[in-house]
Copies of this chain bind each other. A is one copy, B any other.
Amino acid sequence: MSKVLIVGAGGVGRVVVHKCAQRKDIFSAITLASRTKSKCDEIAAEIKDVTVKTVQVDADNVPALVALIQQEQPQLLINVALPYQDLTIMDACLETGVDYLDTANYEPHETAKFEYSWQWAYHDRFKEQGVMALLGSGFDPGVTNVFTALAAKKYLDVIEELDIIDANAGNHGQPFATNFNPEINIREITATCRHWENGQWVESAPLTTKRVFDFPEGIGPMNIYRLYHEEMESLVKHIPTIKKAQFWMTFSDNYLKHLEVLQNVGMTRIDEVEFQGQKIVPIQFLKALLPDPASLGPLTKGKTCIGVIARGTKDGQRKQVYIYNICDHEACYQETNSQAISYTTGVPAVVGGIMMVTGQWHAPGVWNMEQFDPEVFLAELGPMGLPHRVVEGEWPEL
């Protein structure tokens, strides 16, 4: 029985609290902290049979985090705050000797740079202190790493090509809105695309490589666009047989039209602009104008489908395997007051936490998901709400 401290009270934080509260067998006490305590209180009020303690904290402030951890004495800290805050929270965990888990890699404010270098640099210090950090325990990164590890363990002897494919086949009925923090979302999508090919990263302009993929179980064909996505960096490092890795995401024509215009006029800029004597970052002002992603929850219908196609050899034969999850927005909302985008990130965070506190996945140091046994993780993930399917077959090269 473990105490857990959750930092971050956005859509993902809400799912993490709901799901931890469902596992009283594992989590004996839950504390939820955020810059805005009222957001914590709102989530805590939704939990009926467990008391969730709420606290205000500034996650940019290491001494404040340290004081909070010392006060709450958790076994595990689940970080679902902003990616800018990963390092301060890791610093506080190191100082207090508390295990750490997050769902998205650190990125500095000034550049939209997605890489593990900053967090991997903590490995020796975590190891020396006997503390564990599990990085990227959401869906993508997270479950996609686990699916890849499963393909490597059970279905293929050698993985040579990997396509990670993320479809949101849902619809919120708004002219334009992002399904999670618009600042984080747009930074990612408008960054230069990179994919892995023959031992190096190959760059291409954002959103210029487009394919059609026929998604399973009635979702059907949708446009997918190649993006850089952070799990590729750890996967090609830890599974070095991978010669080619690409990440794909669906976007509607309407979404891309809005994004193109907002880029054209400069509203997606992440640098400061002088305006009436103040410095304003355009994408932050845009975020203030767009609908709060939380407000989309009750409006969103349809499904997500996220998975990996791993291609390689088994017993000397070419073989392909597609491992995926399908998740329904309305069912997620009914269970946790959040749609599937938050749900598919929050549930794997809780399952990663269960792996850590039960010792099924545990080692001092900083780790990515594919470095542990995928089968014990997936054995918890399905019952927790995200079952997966494995299909062997053939898919066109993307």
Q: Is A258 an interface residue (CB 8 A)?
A: yes
Please give, as numbers and ranges, the residues of chain B lying within 8 Å of A262 by CB-CB distance: 261, 265
Interface mask (A261-280 → B, CB under 8 Å = 1, otherwise 0)? 11011110100011110101
Q: Is A97 an interface residue (CB 8 A)?
A: no
Q: Is A288 an interface residue (CB 8 A)?
A: yes
Nearest B-chain residue to A264, judged by Cβ:
B175
Number of A interface residues, CB 8 Å?
Answer: 24
A258 & B266 in contact (Cβ 8 Å cutoff):
no
Please give, as numbers and ranges, the residues of chain B lying within 8 Å of A261 by CB-CB distance: 176, 257-258, 261-262
Please give, as numbers and ranges, the residues of chain B lying within 8 Å of A269 by CB-CB distance: 289
Give the contacts of A147-180 with B (CB-CB under 8 A). 175-176
Q: How far is the CA of A175 from the CA of B178 in the complex (A)?
A: 23
27 interchain pairs (CB within 8 A)?
Answer: A175-B265, A176-B261, A176-B264, A176-B265, A257-B257, A257-B261, A258-B264, A258-B265, A261-B261, A261-B262, A262-B265, A265-B289, A265-B290, A266-B289, A266-B290, A267-B267, A267-B289, A269-B289, A273-B289, A274-B288, A275-B280, A275-B284, A276-B280, A276-B284, A278-B278, A280-B280, A282-B289
B-binding residues in A (CB < 8 A): 175-176, 257-258, 261-262, 264-267, 269, 273-276, 278, 280, 282, 284-286, 288-290
